[in-house]
Every structure is written in structure tokens, then in C-alpha cells.
Amino acid sequence: MRISLLFFMLCLCAVPVAAMDKNDCGAGNCAECHTLDVHEAKSILGSLVDGVHDVKFAEVPGFWVVEIEKDRKRFPVYLDFSKNYLMSGSVIRLSDMSNVTQKYHAEMNRIDVSKIPLDDALLLGSPSAKIKAIVFTDPECPYCGKLHAALQEVVERDQNIAFLIKLFPLKMHPNAYEISKSIVCAKSMEFLEDSLAGKPIPPASCDTGAIDETLALVKELGIRSTPTLVLPDGQVVPGAKKADDLLVLLGSKVTQN
């Protein structure tokens, strides 16, 4: 996750940490000797943030993860037990190379999936699948092509999972808008897959406002890139993922390769 200038400055302004023996929990429970609530966290951070929404012990030992808001965006930051060091940026769990910070960020920024109209979405997988995730894709995005191949593998391996694909053309791809209209008008997965493969697509066969509605929707939801996956619980997961990772994200019981 990109580190903002604000958080960089916060780290620079940190006060020297207290002696380590004062922060050590010893054999006891950290919650017994280290406490921090939302009100105190807001007092510590002051005008540097617009608000503090939650505080809990971080997966990283010796730190709380604090859910803050700045400029209408929510981010996780880490405050150490001395309450003098504030850190931000990606924390990677080395055992499985998972991005812990990205997980926190996704949990903090869930969206209401009921706000996403699906009349124009393409269905990949079985209509009777119990688990359905929404995917925002650009028909000229190479990373979308990589994700699409992973989506195909997922629905082959677990028929209980399906994907609803909405077309979100990015401005950096000048032909993507018209191609998206063609795909939506034809309701054609073949058109989408041809476009992702670099093949030409016929002109739109209708005059649809669905693409403009999607462009307005993603702005409201804070979705800025493709591909972006929206899980059934509203978590937003940007970027291409491998099939095994998608199966884990979607709670599949299918054994990974």
C-alpha cells in the first residue's frame, strides 16, 4: 500500500521510545499492562488525523493497530506500546508472505455490495453458485487478463463460486470505453475474453448508459484501479491474484494445488 506523505511526516515527528523493559509484557497478557482506547489515540495523534475509529492489538508484537481517517479515507497505522512511535506502510508476515496491512485496510474499508447494480454484469461460473464475488475489470488491462485466467481456474475447481464481472474502463486505455459498451450491449463473455487477448471487438450494438453509471459508482465507492475484486462481505481486494489465493479469500473448501 502506498505510504502517504502524512504518515511519513508522522514517523519523522515521533518522540524517542521509552526503555524496552517498560514495554515488555513478560509472561503476562499484554492487555493487562498496556491499554489504549479510541479517545486516547485521538488525543495522541491530535490534528494530524481527522478521526480515530478503532484500536486493537496488532498482529505485530508490541504494537496496536489504529484505524484512522484522513481526508475521508481510512488507513491502518501502528502505535507502539510506549505510545511514542507511530509507523505506517506494509507489514509482511514472512511465514506466508501475506500483506498484513493490506488485510487491515480491506477490513476497514468494506463497501455495501447492495449498492452495486448487477444487471449489466457478466456471469462467470454457475448461476446457482452460493458464493458470488464482484469483479471490476478493464477490457484492455493486462493485469485484468491475468486475473481473468485465475477466475476461470477458480470456477473450474469450485463450482460453488462464481464471479459477476462489471466493465470499468480506465482513462489510460482510450479504446476501453467503447469496447466496454460493446461487451455490455452484447452481454458477451467472448467479447471480453477476445479483448483481453488483444483481438478486435465489433462496435456497440446499442446505446447504453451502464458504463457511465459504473464510472460514477466506482468514484463513490473509492475504487480507482482494475482489476478490483469485491468479496461477498464487502471487502475490496485490488490487483491480480492467483487461483489458490482467490480460493482462500472466498473461503473455498477445495484443496489448493
Domain assignment present for 232: yes
Q: Residue 128: name the closest of 161, 166, 165 by CA.
A: 161
121 and 183 share one domain: yes
Query: What total of structural domains would you count in the chain?
Result: 2
104 and 152 share one domain: no
Cell numbers standing for residue 232:
461477498
E strands, the chain, in order? 51-57, 63-70, 73-80, 86-87, 92-93, 98-99, 122-124, 131-137, 161-167, 228-230, 236-238
Domain assignment present for 254: no
- Residue where a domain terminates, one of 77, 108, 139: 108
145 and 38 share one domain: no
Contacts for 24 with CB less than 8 Å, ≥ 6 apart: none
95-141 per-position pLDDT tens digit: 988 888 888 888 888 999 999 999 999 999 999 999 999 999 999 99
Domain assignment present for 151: yes
170 and 240 share one domain: yes
CATH number, domain containing residue 228 = 3.40.30.10
- Residue where a domain terminates, one of 108, 139, 158: 108
Residue type, 167: L
Q: How far apart are CA 206 and CA 203, in angstroms?
A: 9
Domain assignment present for 171: yes
Q: Return the bridge partners of 52, or none.
A: 68
Domain span including residue 237 = 113-249
13 and 76 share one domain: yes
Domain assignment present for 256: no
80 and 181 share one domain: no
- The per-residue pLDDT string of the chain (257 residues; one tens digit each, 9 = 90 and over) reads 444 444 444 443 433 333 334 445 544 566 678 899 999 999 999 988 899 999 999 998 999 999 999 887 888 999 999 999 999 889 999 998 888 888 888 888 899 999 999 999 999 999 999 999 999 999 999 999 999 999 999 999 999 999 999 999 999 999 999 999 999 999 999 999 999 999 999 999 999 999 999 999 999 998 999 999 999 999 999 999 999 999 999 999 886 65
